[in-house]
Amino acid sequence: MRNRVWILAADGNAARIVKDVNLLKDGHQHPAEETYQIEGKRAQDIMADKPGRSHSSVGHGRSAMEYSSDPVREEQHRFAAEIAGKIDHYALENAFENLVICAAPKTLGDLRKLLSHQVRERTLAEIDRNCVAAPTDQLIATVKSVVFP
């Protein structure tokens, strides 16, 4: 295992990149971190602009149109794409040698589809757990318990 291990902790609204973690070292570490966050909006806030009404094909009736997808989920997917783009950019710069991803299950699924082949090759482990709010020491301990069972 190489020294430049990065940890990506993410959910649908927030992400942390913990840089240059030494998984072989015991005790406290103070690695550099980057954080990203989008404003968590409720569906009713996103859907404030109603989709409108349609005319009935038979008669003079009109009815409300339904949304074709979940706008909150779409926003979370866009956020995952933004984070994947940042990680891909860092991989192209060879900023890290290995990556561990700790993400909420839906976000992890999004990231799996969005991350480049180069990043997936450098991924040591994927943990389907939301660790964004965990203190850094606890996050590192969680990663160690998975990488070194």
Mapped onto helix, strand or coil, the DSSP state of residue 66 is: coil
Both tokens of 88, joined, read: 């891909």
Residue 31: CA count within 13 A, CB half-sphere: 24
At residue 1, the pLDDT reads 47
* Mean pLDDT of the residues in the chain: 84
What's the CA gap between 136 and 17, in Å, rounded? 10
At residue 71, the pLDDT reads 76
pLDDT tens per residue across span 17-59: 999 998 888 778 889 999 999 876 555 554 555 555 555 555 5
In the DSSP assignment, the letter for residue 33 is E
Which residues face 62 on adjacent strands? 55
pLDDT tens per residue across span 63-76: 555 555 677 788 89
Cβ partners under 8 Å of residue 83, min gap 6:
8, 10, 15, 36, 111
Show the domains of the chain with their CATH numbers: 5-38+69-147 (3.30.420.60)
Residue 81: CA count within 13 A, CB half-sphere: 6
Which residues face 6 on adjacent strands? 99
